[in-house]
A and B are shown apart, each in its own frame.
Chain A
Amino acid sequence: MLTVEEWKNRLECESCYDLISELFERIERSNLNAYITLCKEEALKRAEDYDRGKLKGKIAGIPVAVKDCISTKGIRTTCGSRMLENYIPPFDAYVVEKLKQEGAIIVGKTNMDEFAMGTTTETSYFGVVKNPYDESRVAGGSSGGSGACLGGNEAVLALGSDTGGSIRCPASFCGVVGLKPTYGLVSRYGLIPYANSLEQIGPMACCVRDVAILLEVIAGKDSRDSTNAGKSFKFEDKYGDYNFKIGIVEEMGGNEDVNCRFEEVVELIKSMGFRVGKVSMPSFKYALAAYYIIATGEASSNLARYDGVRYGFALDNLDSWTRYFSKVRSLGFGEEVKRRIMLGTYALSAGYYGKYYLKALKVRTLVRRDFERAFSEFDLLISPTMPALPFKIGELADPLTMYKMDVNTVPVNMGGIPALSLPVGFVRGLPVGLQIMGNHFEEEKILSFALKLENYITETI
């Protein structure tokens, strides 16, 4: 896999134009289906600019993939949906502005679950993304394309978005690093919304240091997102010899395969000299149900904007109001999106608000309190990122079974805290990810610990 450092070394002896051309040849030969739209012409032009010394910045000349729910001016942005199959945004998302300012070369828009609703990228209108380690298996979701393009050497950096695990799951399944930042650290301006109070854009890469670099680029103040915290980020790795106290979350686990590797990693962490203890989070029993109520509730209201009038899928005949909207939405949305809109509509409808939505918001308070208590005792918390190894394509046919695979990742979004998935080895040739969670705005601590563990694992494997 490609790191920023390796790519920069190559740029010392080869032209950026040749390297980018070679990258596109590899993508065009690939079976992974990681990209929905490629930006070859523009990317090669940027590469030429780099060779002429006209492209400057922190990630100048580095090929970056962007998840297709992030708006790119003049470049089709589909959100993995037929509804936006031909939608061309008239503006760039904040994070895309930042990529351009720092000299990045945008390779293309990556495949994803439709409107980011899924755990396997099987709900994409543009076909399933395949796992770079086994093409009969899924790459995870919803940022499956961003995970697979990194695992398959088809980009050096990638942006994903994470509402309930959508960065960490594909990072885990594709053997790469992915970080969901603290809610509010990265502007959501230009992110096509699914569930606003839960989601964040975040960096994905092949090593911890590259994730830190990309986070430095995309974090920052933006007045166009009213939930933006106005903080920037600089990774200084100031923890040096700090003796981290690590808590294992008892309520987050996995199947036998995953647990076996997880326990080995816990032993590694102990042998590195870190203090390890256990912590119980009683509210997590309710977190998954509460998450799906909040997420689908927000989705049902967010996706009301798709009316086939101002943009998106439209019919030739305008017909009458109700018939037109209902027909457009029936044809434009896929099954999972319809299911979630309907679930959210139900949970928010008269008579059920108190039973479901309000209750879910109370659970969010309990989850927050559990995290507060845990972080008063531990620096970081750990768990397996996913409870299972990458699934066979088509293996998870029942929606509720699929939802339950998010059990380890959703509490993080409920608490608004940052969490990173780090590849920690393989079981039967398939990657396993370790989830490292930190307190609000303690990305530095997570990255610092992840960097140490990454080095140690590379040395011991």
Chain B
Amino acid sequence: MLTIADVYKIAELAKIEITKEEAEKFQKELVNIVSYFNVLDEVEEDVEPTFHVLPLRNVFREDVPEESLSRDEVLANARHRENGYFKGPKIVE
């Protein structure tokens, strides 16, 4: 069964900080939902999976250069920017 420790681990993988209260609530709910998912144990294994419903294979277009968004437009929604670049958090502590 999915434990509170599992919930913290999942939240860490998903990069979502959660409180103790949230962890407890999510644990109960996720256990409930995942046990419902177990209905799939009945499904036969010997079936091809369908990744995609349309019979499309690699769709290519001509590699023609075209106008793209300007740097200002691209940066317009960013809170942190410097010298025409996005500014992100430190990767190495």
Contacts and interface: CB of A to CB of B under 8 A. Distances in A.
Interface of A: 86-88, 90-91, 183-184, 197, 223, 226-227, 229, 285-286, 289-290, 292-293, 300, 304, 307-312, 314, 316, 318-327, 329-330, 333, 338-339, 341-343, 345-347, 349, 355-356, 358-366, 368, 398-400, 403, 415-416
A310 B86 contact: yes
Contacts of A319: 89-90
Most buried by A among B29, B42, B53: B53
Contacts of A366: 43, 47
B7 A365 contact: no
A342 B37 contact: no
B40 A359 contact: yes
A362 B48 contact: yes
B39 A88 contact: no
A283 B11 CA distance: 32
A365 B40 contact: no
Given A289-B36, A368-B50, A327 B17 contact: yes
B90 A286 contact: no
A299 B90 CA distance: 26
A321 B44 CA distance: 43
Contacts of A415: 53
B69 A90 contact: yes
Interface residues of B, number: 53
A205 B59 CA distance: 33
Contacts of A365: 47-50
26 contacts: A88-B76, A90-B77, A197-B52, A226-B59, A227-B52, A229-B54, A229-B56, A286-B39, A289-B36, A289-B37, A292-B33, A300-B14, A314-B79, A318-B80, A323-B89, A325-B15, A326-B16, A329-B16, A342-B10, A342-B14, A343-B30, A356-B37, A356-B40, A359-B43, A363-B43, A364-B53
Given A290-B40, A326-B16, A339 B47 contact: no
B48 A325 contact: no
Contacts of B51: 197, 361
Contacts of A355: 40
B75 to A, nearest CB: 8
Contacts of A346: 2, 6, 10, 30, 34
Interface string B48-91: 11111110100101000000010001101111100000111111
Nearest to B37: A289
B3 interface: no
Contact of B39 (A289, A312, A349): A289
Most buried by B among A87, A91, A359, A416: A359
A296 to B, nearest CB: 9
Given A361-B51, A400-B32, A321 B90 contact: yes
Given A343-B34, A346-B34, 10 more contacts: A90-B73, A229-B54, A289-B40, A309-B80, A309-B86, A326-B15, A327-B17, A342-B14, A359-B43, A362-B47
B29 A320 contact: no
Nearest to A230: B59
A314 B56 contact: no
Contacts of B13: 345, 349
A415 B16 CA distance: 32
B48 A338 contact: no
A183 B33 contact: no
Contacts of A358: 49
Contacts of B45: 362
Contact of A183 (B2, B11, B44, B54): B54
Given A319-B89, A326-B16, A362-B48, A227 B56 contact: yes
